[in-house]
Amino acid sequence: IGVVAVFHDLTAIRRLEQMRKDFVANVSHELRTPITSIRGFSETLLDGAMQDPDTCQEFLKIILEESIRLQRLVGDLLDLSTIESKQMAMNFEQLSIASFLQNITKTLDEQARNKEQTLRVEIKEDFQIRMDPDRLKQIVLNLVSNAIAYTPAGGEIRVQVDQEEKDWILVVSDTGMGIPEEDLGRIFERFYRVDKARSRESGGTGLGLAIVKHLVEEYEGEIKVTSKMGEGTTFTIWFSKE
């Protein structure tokens, strides 16, 4: 039995080591892409492309977009490492779920309208929760931004909250493209994307859902996802009221 246990430990250690290596490789790759682009376009501008105002404008726009992507990626990486090392400060506050959602859905509403989508917030009755508003905001923003990004024009995004005896429930659903069944189990992994090109297009870092899952676990909550291709996706989170 002793030998078997040691053997198991070794495989677990090897697996962890492999995961760490994969993560470093992924991060390097994700960082390299925007850096290469920023460097390439800056060099071309300095080599003479600046003479043409249109080209100049176009290249500078790309440089700005790629810088924003880098900034978002570094921000998400820092958040993830802070949550994982359990160093994230939690400032619990008593919140009214209705006013909390009203406050944060203003910017999301604009994002949805820009894509000709409708954002609906449904609260049967207001209730109080005790949470860190910044962390809850991060959870909702990540899920709703994804819903907007992966839903075509004309679609509908819904945010619903409800309460049961012991839990309160947050549901974010969309009428978007859906997630293939074989990918559902992996979308919470760092850098896992169903469609790399679309994720890039939407400015995604591939870390949003990993952050959401970690935050939910930090609150001892549970997150589940269901999806149907071409019909839409629903994320449901259960938080304990205590």
By CB under 6 A, residue 147 contacts ligand ADP: yes
By CB under 6 A, residue 150 contacts ligand ADP: yes
- From 117, 138, 175, 233, residue interacting with ligand ADP (rule: CB under 6 A): 233
Task: Give yes or no for a contact between 210 and 190, defined as CB atoms under 8 angstroms apart.
Answer: yes
Task: Give yes or no for a contact between 203 and 191, defined as CB atoms under 8 angstroms apart.
Answer: no
Alpha helices of 162-207 — where are they, by DSSP H? 181-184, 196-201
Residue of this chain nearest to ligand ADP (CB atom): 204
By CB under 6 A, residue 138 contacts ligand ADP: no
Which among 25-33, 37-45, 90-98, 205-213 is the span making contact with ligand ADP, rule CB under 6 A? Answer: 205-213
The 3-state secondary structure of 116-160 reads CCEEEEEECCCCEEEECHHHHHHHHHHHHHHHHHCCCCCCEEEEE
Task: Give yes or no for a contact between 213 and 221, defined as CB atoms under 8 angstroms apart.
Answer: no
By CB under 6 A, residue 208 contacts ligand ADP: yes
- 3-state class percentages of the chain: helix first, strand second, coil last, to nearest 5: 55, 20, 25
Q: Which two tokens stand for residue 157?
A: 């995004």
Cβ-proximal residues to 92 (8 Å cutoff; 6+ apart), any chain: 130, 131, 132
* Of residues 49 and 171, the one with the C-beta less far from ligand ADP: 171
By CB under 6 A, residue 131 contacts ligand ADP: no
By CB under 6 A, residue 72 contacts ligand ADP: no
By CB under 6 A, residue 146 contacts ligand ADP: yes
Q: Least distance in Å: CB of 71 to ligand ADP? A: 14
* Of residues 131 and 172, the one with the C-beta less far from ligand ADP: 172
Q: Which residues sit at the interface with ligand ADP, rule CB under 6 A?
A: 146-147, 150, 174, 176-177, 179, 187, 192-195, 199, 204-210, 233
